[in-house]
Amino acid sequence: MAYNKPIPDPEQYITKPFWDGCKEGKLMLPRCTTCNRTHFYPRAICPFCQSDSLEWVEVSGEGYIHTFAVQHRAFGGWAEETPFVTAFIDLKEGDRMLTVLRGVDPLKPEDIKIGAKVKIEFEEASDTVSLPFWRVVE
């Protein structure tokens, strides 16, 4: 079955290294060489010190659930998957990402624990794009 959810354009200048990494099964983030902090979402200027001196680095792909919500309504291809869980993930490296959380039951939100350990996984959406998701590993 064809992937029926929105697919990003991996050729955009600023985000291309991120999407190239996802296709290879790696979480790549920009790191500022001035303040040594990684950040997500990718952008041309460090959100912490405003330097434009950035490099792309592979990060661990490990983190923890910061918070979550059960989605009962959605549009497009996501409507077919309701309910599902979205979550903010605190990365081991210190930043935060939004995700659709895997490995949890949206009908039992009481079983989802803030602080639970998660690991990144990638789903192939097309020949050129793989999307990152996070899965509970505890």
Question: CB-based contacts of 110: which residues, under 8 Å, 6+ apart?
Answer: none
Average pLDDT over residues 19-42: 96
Q: Is the pLDDT assigned to residue 1 strictly greater than 70?
A: no
Contact 46, 54 (CB under 8 A): yes
Instruction: Report the predicted TM-score, pTM, of the whole model to 2 decimal places.
Output: 0.89
Helix H or strand E segment including 65: strand 62-71
**Worst-scoring range by mean pLDDT, 4-18, 64-78, 83-97?**
4-18
Cα 3 from chain centroid (whole Å): 18
Q: Which residue has the higher pLDDT, 97 or 76?
A: 97
Q: Is the pLDDT assigned to residue 5 strictly greater than 70?
A: yes
8 assigned to some structural domain: no
38 assigned to some structural domain: yes
Residue 125 is part of which domain span? 16-136
Residue 33: its pLDDT value, please?
A: 97
How far apart are alpha carbons 98 and 34 in whole angstroms? 26
Residue 77: its pLDDT value, please?
A: 85
Domain count, the chain: 1
The band of 116, judged by pLDDT with boundaries at 50, 70 and 90, is: very high
Instruction: Outline where the chain has alpha helix (H).
Output: 16-23
125 assigned to some structural domain: yes
39 assigned to some structural domain: yes
Contact 100, 84 (CB under 8 A): yes
Q: DSSP string covering 26-53, please?
A: --EEEEETTT--B-SS--SS-TTT----
54 assigned to some structural domain: yes
112 assigned to some structural domain: yes
10 assigned to some structural domain: no
The domain that contains 33 carries what CATH number? Answer: 2.40.50.840
